[in-house]
Amino acid sequence: MKTQSNRGKKLRRATPRVRQPARARTAAIDIDANRRLLNRYRFVAHEGMLILAGWLPKAETFELKCEMGRALWESAQHVNALFLRLREIQSPAFQKPSDPALVTLLAELLHAPDEFSLALALYRVVTPSLIRALESHETATFPNSDQPSVHVIKHALLDLRAQLERIEPLLVQAEQAGKITAAARAWEKYARRLLAAAGGISGLEERAPAPASAPACRVTFQAPREAGRDERFTNRAADFSAMPPEEAYQEHTVEEFERYSTEMLAAETVALVMFLVKGMPWEFQYDTARHIYDEVRHCLMGYEWMRGHAMDPFQSPQYLHVFKWRSQFPPVMQYCMLTMGNEVHAFPYRHRRVEAHQKSGDRLSEQFVRYDIADETQHVRFGNRWLPELIKLVGEKRPLKQYTADVIKVWEEEYRTGKLTLNVE
């Protein structure tokens, strides 16, 4: 009996005790702080997305413009993930932060004097602070109870770190080329002071006094009416010309992918619509962010094809007057012309091109066009979903069918004929 009793004691002593994780016991972020912080991150990503939408048409440097389109779409993923998490722990999910300093920081970023001033403020000031806040939050919150937040944060950090890795070389290149001006440096410094006044993106850092005024380089932002291109683009104002007949496969395919390389124009139009339209549900902005990035990728698809065939895409006609023409119309009309005009009417041609590429054995071209068809099908769905809401938002009295028919008539008479009427202001 004694032996058995001692053996039992030994077994009991050998059984490991379940301990509460030290991190959970000392977690610094309770649920109320969690709501506030997640909402700050959401606000920064959301406002940053809208700033990029306004600036995307205006930016001239092609690589930076493309990165803006990608970062805009990635920001939409972060906002959406935070939205889904926030609606579980607060109502309403989207709330304006109660910190005026943070609101001022994001409001001021829009008014950068040029695209590199904006990039410096976003990618050397705001995004690094957001990364630090997210890294701290990931380890300070309750690891089990708040795992959904940790999941969101981990995925956002992957994107944000990758953005800095892609954009920093562009900023270094711009510095070496003398494109980072004194005004840009002043704007970066101003952004840092605004960030310090907000206590960093988290609001938890020591706060410095807010700047008394903005620097003289501040330029009140105006929605762009013309699309920017850098000095490498030498053929900006070309008119549409007739494409070679489809039967002339090689010649027509060259023109086909040269046209793809100009689809930045569609991205710029959708970005302008996103920036200008206020009062639509978040889901509209989420869909338009995807639409924008799809068009950026279509443009890059054209670049990839042309470079693979020893062609210089920077010599392609840019048709910049198309953006200028569309931008003179109300944003809802621009969106209708693009989704119900350009995109709806492209499908018969695209399907013929898939068949032509299949017959020629050109698998790369075939795959490019098939992916394009998949994207454009989604864009038409977007149009069908959101046009009824958009015309209701702006108080349009015509029924949807009549409104769409009237808009497409303008598109047929001007865009398809190439006789674009520009109003002189």
pLDDT digits (tens, 9 = 90+) for 4-40: 444 444 434 444 443 444 444 445 799 999 999 999 9
pLDDT in tens, 278-312: 999 999 999 999 999 999 999 999 999 999 999 99
- Which has the higher per-residue pLDDT, 25 or 250? 250
> What is the predicted pLDDT for the residue at 423?
67
Beta-carbon count within 10 A of 131 CB? 17
- Identify which of 18, 21, 19 has the alpha carbon closest to the alpha carbon of residue 142: 21
- The pLDDT value recorded for residue 241 is 79
Euclidean distance between CA atoms 326 and 226, whole angstroms = 10
CA distance 306 to 312: 7
d(CA 309, CA 171): 29
> DSSP code of 294?
H
Q: In 141-263, which residue ranges form alpha helices assigned H by DSSP?
A: 147-176, 182-197, 249-260
Neighbouring C-beta atoms of residue 145, cutoff 10 Å: 12
Does pLDDT of 239 surpass 90? no
| pLDDT at residue 27 in the model | 55
How confident is the model over 142-192, as pLDDT tens digits?
989 999 999 999 999 999 999 999 999 999 999 999 999 999 999 999 999
Sign of the CA dihedral with 205 first, then 206, 210, and 215 last = negative
> Phi-psi bin for 306: left (phi > 0), alpha (psi -120 to 50), beta?
alpha
Q: Compute the distance between CA of residue 327 and CA of residue 153 in angstroms, rounded to an integer.
A: 37
Which pLDDT belongs to residue 6? 47
Structural domains of the chain in order of their starting residue, each with its CATH number: 28-197 (1.20.1260.10), 249-415 (1.20.1260)
Residue where the block lists tokens 């020629």: 360
Q: Give the lowest-confidence range in 145-149, 170-174, 241-245, 401-405.
A: 241-245
Least trusted range by pLDDT, from 77-91, 233-247, 373-387: 233-247
> Which residues touch 353 (CB under 8 Å, ≥6 apart)?
246, 256, 365, 369
The model's pLDDT over 196-218, given as tens digits with 9 standing for 90+, comes to: 999 999 999 999 999 999 999 99
Task: Give the chain's mean pLDDT.
Answer: 92
| pTM of the model as a whole | 0.92
pLDDT at 200: 98
**pLDDT for res 28:** 79
What average pLDDT score do residues 123-152 get?
96
What mean pLDDT is predicted for residues 213-230?
97
Q: In which band, very low, low, confident or very high, does the pLDDT at 237 lie, cut at 50, 70 and 90?
A: confident
Q: Please indicate whether residue 151 or residue 422 has the higher confidence score (pLDDT).
A: 151
Task: Give 10's contacts (C-beta < 8 A, 6+ positions apart).
Answer: none
